[in-house]
Amino acid sequence: MRKRFIINSLNFVRNTGVHHGKILPAELERLREYLSDHAGEIAYSISGILDEKGRPVLKIIITGMITLCCQRCLSKLEHTLDVKTHLLIARTQDEYSSYDEDNSVDAILASPDMDALTLIEDEIILSLPISPRHLENECSINNITINTSEATKAVVKKHPFASLKSLKK
């Protein structure tokens, strides 16, 4: 069971709060389904700041290494996390709706009991590739060699109409 880090998002920004730590990938329940194994470590930092317009923002930095499954060869694929994001904190639903219309900003609704580690897990999942794969020359599927003449013979022997060929004469 992971430790929870609950913040009041607006107070965290007002107090210019900073929290950092390390977490194991296995501790993030929703992330586990994307992982090949639970090795690695994730370092994170959350800072409460005001942007250039004086709006409250959570600055999130996540680094680390996790292991995904290559969709080409199904072997382990090390994936480096390097996430840097700024989330505007909307005080009201109307403010959130106006931010939502602007595709250039990411926003969340202010909450007096926000689980910061859930927020970190969300950012990690959003940063994952849709179809994780090794580079062409690194994938283990390229290391498989097939003797094409033997493969062709096997196909010919198993062809269902191969015996009819002799009746044709």
Average pLDDT of the segment spanning 72-94 = 91
Res. 119: pLDDT tops 80: yes
Partners of 58 in beta bridges: 48, 87
Q: What is the pLDDT of residues 43-71, one digit of tens each?
A: 999 999 999 989 999 999 999 999 999 88
- Neighbouring-strand partners of residue 62: 44, 83
User: How do 106-109 and 76-90 pair as beta strands?
Assistant: parallel
Q: What is the rounded CA–CA span in Å between residue 95 and residue 92?
A: 5
Nearest alpha-carbon partner for 28 in 45, 40, 20, 18: 40
Q: Are strands 56-69 and 35-50 parallel, antiparallel or unpaired?
A: antiparallel
The overall average pLDDT reported for the chain is 84
User: Around Cβ 48, how many Cβ atoms within 10 Å?
Assistant: 21
pLDDT, mean of residues 5-18: 91
Whether the predicted pLDDT of 98 surpasses 90: no
Give the number of other CB atoms < 10 A from CB of residue 23. 21
Judge contact between 57 and 13, C-beta under 8 A.
Answer: yes
Run of H or E including 6 = strand 6-7
Confidence category of residue 145, pLDDT binned at 50, 70, 90: very low
Residue 146 has pLDDT above 50, yes or no: no
| Band (154; pLDDT cuts 50, 70, 90) | low
One-letter identity of residue 81 = L
Beta bridge partners of 76: 69
Mean pLDDT of 79-104: 88
